[in-house]
Amino acid sequence: MNRGELIHQIKTKQSYLCVGLDTDINKIPKHLQSTTNAVLQFNKAIIDATKDCCIGYKINVAFYEVLGAKGWDYLAETLAYIPSTHLKIADAKRGDIGNTSAQYAKTFFETYAFDAVTVAPYMGEDSIRPFLEYENKFTIVLGLTSNIGANDFELLKTSDNKFFYEKIIEQTASWGTPENLMFVVGATQSNQLVYIRKLIPDNFLLIPGVGEQGGSLKEVSEFGLNDNVGLIINASRAIIYASSKEDFAEEATMVAQQYQHAMQPFLNQ
């Protein structure tokens, strides 16, 4: 999927919602937990329930790796079930150098055919370059995260009185273009979005943390949207665990629709 196709999907769906498939076998409804391929059954039901309201899915690789070889099978089958019209993000946060980085890029862009993958930028350009060499793929760089630990490094001031995250975003943006680079910005950091948009006015931002983690859809949309939308809001637990009962899919639809309806006014301003 390229940038133009993504923008078209957002405008057609009137939604910039991405559903996070952070599927934990211990949190899915109990009536599924003892069934064969419970994770896959759950994921398929969530995808069927939300595909009309969202433009993409983010698979958090950690929730599949933990299950060993079977988990990777679930990941592959989940990926294959997602419609081709939807952006497919591997939330893997990889970051290494040389041939190792090239193998990570090949894993998520060829072996598993994701459209995008999250990466950590702290080892520099050679750790990201192999991902950027793929056409019609997105490298999503950790920009400013919403965890407490962001204060340890990302929000430190540098010698020229900039935040460290600003230096990271500014430098990383020069390695690619809005056609192949996105950035992760936590929703609880919406007060920083004005500065981030000055640094990268055209790149898409992947925004986790709206809802369950306290981020405001209104604030993120007002500060983060650009002329070509430029935002993807990820929601995971609020949607996939909207109910722990047999009506979990119906409840997931309702919550996804609420996000979609809340986004429409911002797209039509």
Q: Which residues are CB-contacts of 145 (< 8 A; sequence separation ≥ 6)? A: 154, 184, 186, 189
Query: CB–CB of 184/118 below 8 Å?
Result: yes
Within 10 angstroms of residue 75's Cβ, the number of other Cβ atoms is 25
pLDDT reported for residue 105: 98
pLDDT reported for residue 269: 77
User: Does residue 51 carry a catalytic annotation?
Assistant: no
Query: CB–CB of 132/176 below 8 Å?
Result: yes
11, 27, 93, 167: which one is catalytic? Answer: 93
d(CA 150, CA 163): 11
What residues form DSSP beta bridges with 157? 163
pLDDT reported for residue 213: 63
pLDDT reported for residue 214: 66
What is the extent of the structural domain holding 165? Answer: 3-267
pLDDT reported for residue 211: 67
Q: What is the CATH number of the domain that holds 181?
A: 3.20.20.70
Total domains, the chain: 1
| Nearest alpha-carbon partner for 208 in 12, 14, 17, 9 | 17
How does DSSP classify residue 269?
A: -
Q: pLDDT tens per residue, the chain (269 residues)?
A: 999 999 999 999 999 999 999 999 999 999 999 888 999 999 999 999 999 999 999 999 999 999 999 999 999 999 999 999 999 999 999 999 989 999 999 999 999 999 999 999 999 999 999 999 999 999 999 999 988 898 999 999 998 998 999 999 999 999 999 999 999 999 888 888 989 999 999 999 999 988 666 678 999 999 999 999 999 999 999 999 999 999 999 999 999 999 999 999 999 87
Helix (H, G, I), strand (E, B) or coil at 255: helix
Helix (H, G, I), strand (E, B) or coil at 142: strand
74 exposed, middle or buried (CB, 10 Å; 0-12, 13-18, 19+)? buried
Q: 49 to each of 31, 140, 193, 252, how far by Cα in Å? A: 18, 26, 31, 7
| Nearest alpha-carbon partner for 182 in 222, 233, 147, 219 | 233
